[in-house]
Amino acid sequence: MGGLVLLSLVLVTVSFREDGSGPLASVQNGAAAVLRPFQVAADRVAEPFRDAYGWTSSLLDARSDAARLEKENELLRQQVAERRIAQRENVTLRKLLAYRSGPRFPEAYSGLAAAVISRPAGAYAQAIVIAAGREDGVRNDDPVVTQDGLVGKVSRVSSRTARVTLLTDDASAASALDVETQAFGIVRSGDGARAPLRLDRVPKEARVAVDDTIVTSGWSSPRLSSLYPRGIRIGRVTSVGRTDTDLYTQVQVTPFADLSSLEAVLVLIPVNRGVGTP
């Protein structure tokens, strides 16, 4: 036994010192080559059993794998959804920024971007809640717009949030004019989804045509000014109707701003009003 242990130690020492390139390594390589067919044969014989074992163990692991993958999938879906929302918000905010620094943005106003945190709960609640309030300089009756057009006005303010009544609310009204014909009227909520807005009080003799653009007709004097500044886009005329019995022309308008899927808006804050002004 001692001899065998000694022989093993000698083999270990020599083999370790040779490091794969010596006479002993050559003998080892030759012996390995001789033994190789036996290894291959054993491997071939064992392969079906190994496959069977792998298949069985994979079946045993399948349940836990499925649960883990389901959890991972759920997490990834959530991440994808969050990413899409973030991308969409990014696009919206970029458009708002472009509008704020563009030529169409009304003078004498600064634009406060605010995320929409609550949307209309139903047909009778045409209002949204935005994530900006008194502490951000928002006050009642401040106009609210997007890069597409007028949205409504602030109707209630708390310290960090504000309620915005949409143009489609029955209580909303904005003096407006047809850009092409300069015909005046008042934009109010319409009769339904096909015509969310109508241009009211347009005299019969005034000329209004389909596809005309309607904008706010705001005015200002040294001491007073209208609620909405002049020139903010409201919508496009979709139909014009006149009857002998009506006093006014019936004009239906589709708003430029998609009021059903607002994500971020700009609150127009007069430049000459400080944050602390009530």
Partner 1 sequence: MSVALRIAPLVFVAAVVQVTVLGGARMLWAEPDLLLVTIVCVALAAGSIPGAAAGFAGGLLVDVMTLGTLGTTSIVLTLAGYWAGRYGETTGRGRRYAAPLAAFAISILAGFGAVALHFLLGEPVAARDALVTAVPSAILAAVLAFGVSRITGEIFEPPRGLERPRQVELV
Spell out the residues 6+ positions from residue 235 whose beta carbon is closer than 8 angstroms to its own: 149, 187, 197, 213, 214, 253, 254, 255, 256
Burial of 1 (0-12, 13-18, 19+ CB in 10 A): exposed
Among 23, 26, 29, 198, binds partner 1 (CB under 8 A): 29
Question: 29 or 277: whose CB is closer to partner 1?
Answer: 29
- 63 touching partner 1, by CB under 8 A: no
- 193 touching partner 1, by CB under 8 A: no
Helix (H, G, I), strand (E, B) or coil at 149: coil
Q: How many helices (H) and strands (E) does the chain have?
A: 2, 12
Stretch that binds partner 1, among 8-16, 97-105, 141-149, 236-244 (CB under 8 A): 8-16
Burial of 270 (0-12, 13-18, 19+ CB in 10 A): middle
Stretch that binds partner 1, among 2-10, 80-88, 180-188, 246-254 (CB under 8 A): 2-10
- 50 touching partner 1, by CB under 8 A: yes
- 31 touching partner 1, by CB under 8 A: yes
- 8 touching partner 1, by CB under 8 A: yes
- 59 touching partner 1, by CB under 8 A: no
- 10 touching partner 1, by CB under 8 A: yes
Cα angle 102, 216, 179; round to 5: 85
- 85 touching partner 1, by CB under 8 A: no
Q: How far apart are CA 152 and CA 158, in angstroms?
A: 17
How many angstroms separate the Cα of 228 from the Cα of each of 9, 17, 26, 69, 258?
A: 97, 92, 95, 54, 19
Among 21, 23, 38, 245, binds partner 1 (CB under 8 A): 38
Stretch that binds partner 1, among 34-42, 156-164, 214-222, 262-270 (CB under 8 A): 34-42
Chain residues in the site for partner 1 (CB under 8 A): 1, 4-5, 7-16, 24, 28-29, 31-32, 35, 38-39, 42-43, 46, 49-50
